[in-house]
Amino acid sequence: QVHLVESGGGSVQTGGSLQLSCTFSGYADNRPSFAWFRQAPGKEREGVAVIQPGSSTFYADSVKARATISRDNAKNTAYLQMTDLKLEDTAMYYCAARTIVGERWNIWRPEDYAYWGQGTQVTVSS
């Protein structure tokens, strides 16, 4: 059974930085693609960053200059580092993973990810 466990959220002041971690445990046929999504109160879940098994990365325009997604395959862990945090970055951040290969999919569509973590809260204040 696959589990994703996130860590690293918390309260940060504007302009600050943080790093989120997501560890994948359990059996998978393939190395996962990892994604970070976030959801603010009253808003839809939105994709933030994606890293594929070959380490190709993709970012939402809203974080592109401020976020770095990375992975450590030996630890089955993905990281999201964000700098210059803004009030609008406040949200619950969720890690997602997908292990299916060979099918067309949309990296920004939550439905295309089979595995999800519980979420970690990030609160940015002035």
To the nearest whole number, what is the mean pLDDT of the chain?
95
Q: What would the mean pLDDT of 33-55 be, rounded to a whole number?
A: 96
Confidence of residue 119 (pLDDT cuts 50, 70, 90): very high
Contacts of 99 by beta carbon, 8 Å cutoff, 6+ apart: 2, 28, 29, 30, 31, 32, 33, 114, 115
pLDDT value for 46: 97
24 neighbors 33 (Cβ within 8 angstroms): no
One-letter amino acid of 100: I
Q: What would the mean pLDDT of 8-31 be, rounded to a whole number?
A: 95
Express each pLDDT in 76-114 by its tens digit: 999 999 999 999 999 999 999 999 888 888 999 999 999
Length of the chain: 126
